[in-house]
Structure 1
Amino acid sequence: MNSARLLFLVWNLSLLGQVQTAWRPAILSSVGIEQKMGAQVPLDLPFSDETGQRVTIRQYTGKPIILALVYYQCPSLCNMVLNGLLRSVKTLSLQAGQDFEIVTLSFDPRETAQMAVAKKASYLRGYDRPGAEQGWHFLTGAERSTKVLADTVGFHYAYDNLTNQYAHSSAILVLTPDGRVAKYFYGIEYPVRDLRLGLIEAAGRRIGSPIDQVLLFCYHYNPANGRYGLVVMNVLRIGGLFTLGALSTFIFISLWRRDLRQQGMT
């Protein structure tokens, strides 16, 4: 009897595994991120902001844009993406609305402005910067708009009827001030240095400090992992320039002191 039960259990587990194996590729095969560097986001697709007003991405151009594709009723991953983004922008000295824009767009066409406004209120409390409500936007839209935008930037997702949820990857994007894809940052944690350099580079170096310009020379964006890595040769070049400058200064001061001594002797 026990052997029969064990055999029945093994058979059921095997069948369950076959069902899962057959189901998962069908969903996941169409999910992922396809890098499309330089792709132009359609600027005039219609969306709705958190107040229910009709808006387009064009209204947010003129500054670099952080684009987060999520859906507001996501039970886990989307919140992790937005929480990771919040942690990063809170630490930045750059200001949303002043130096860059954040556009959070729901790709679930069933979601409403009421959901968007609740989400915005929550993250603005966390961000806690004056004027941030003008720089962080929470949008919804019809599938014909959200799908076109997502496909344009290579963000592919799929709806799962069994769980009533979306399967999707986790990433944020940085767009140039004219709405072209500049950077992808993967996962749910976005290093502050990388995000800052990405925004500065996307803005054509028109924002940031002189130190940031040096860092951009020392660090190179790797699209394979969505991170900035240290470029050793550039660091050596800068080190060589500092060494040359220090040596030149030392020689100049030495010659100047020698001339002073010679003048004193005469």
Structure 2
Amino acid sequence: MRVDLHCHSTASDGTDTPAELVRNAAAAGLDVVALTDHDTTRGYAEAIAAVPAGLTLVTGAELSCRLDGVGLHMLAYLFDPDEPELLRERELVRDDRVPRAQAVVGRLRGMGVPVTWEQVARIAGDGSVGRPHIATALVELGVVADVSAAFTTQWLADGGRAYVAKHESDPFEAIRLVKAAGGVTVFAHPGAAKRGRTVRESALAELAAAGLDGIEVDHMDHEPATRARLRGLAAELGLLVTGSSDYHGSRKTCVLGEYTTDPEIYGEITRRATGAFPVPGAGGTAR
């Protein structure tokens, strides 16, 4: 069984529609794929309608959080998307994305970069606008070679010249809210130092004590030594270990199924969840 628990669609900053994502996941030989768009569940209905036979869809989201001034992402799986408290917090984060992105564009223009809000809005389409859309605009303008090159202190990384803060959840509160909505939480790519500052590893014990279920260890932004260290920490803290592609379609170089989660870990995630259930494919209908 091949399980990829971290993927994005056009509902946030991926380039595949939710329907294309599940079809592409099946074509890539996956048995299970998770839809984890940033701070939104808008892609659920389309993805569920399109799940092909032989594939199971896990609904989720990647929540934007901040601890000690450092940004972090919390993967949340199989929660009730209509639970009021969690929905309210997701809307706070989502609604702050547009003014934040507009402010980033303003900073870039002040640096002499001819990016426009209209260009970024076109790239984002109906998705939840974020820094990857601005990074794509920089690629279009020839300012950087690829999206990853935009996430440096020269440009969009935390603390970078064009960085602007947005509303982000406290991770301890995010864990509480997801748990109350029947979901499961996994700290996404905690050692991705190439993206900028990372949360201190001592915080993992604090998050585990607050109810964190697992950490994403096998990820393209983790060097082998980082994976080994995180795997050891997970064992010490009794946390689940996941692996995922963090697929964004053509926006990033990662491919579906590049890293996967052990089927037994996937089974434990589904056992812990009470807010929603995985959706087995019935042939798919959405186009």
Shorter-chain TM-score bucket reads: under 0.3
Which structure is higher in RCO with an 8 Å CA cutoff and minimum separation 6?
2
Tell me the TM-score normalized by structure 2: 0.23
* Greater fraction helix: 1
In our comparison, the structure showing a higher alpha carbon Rg is: 1
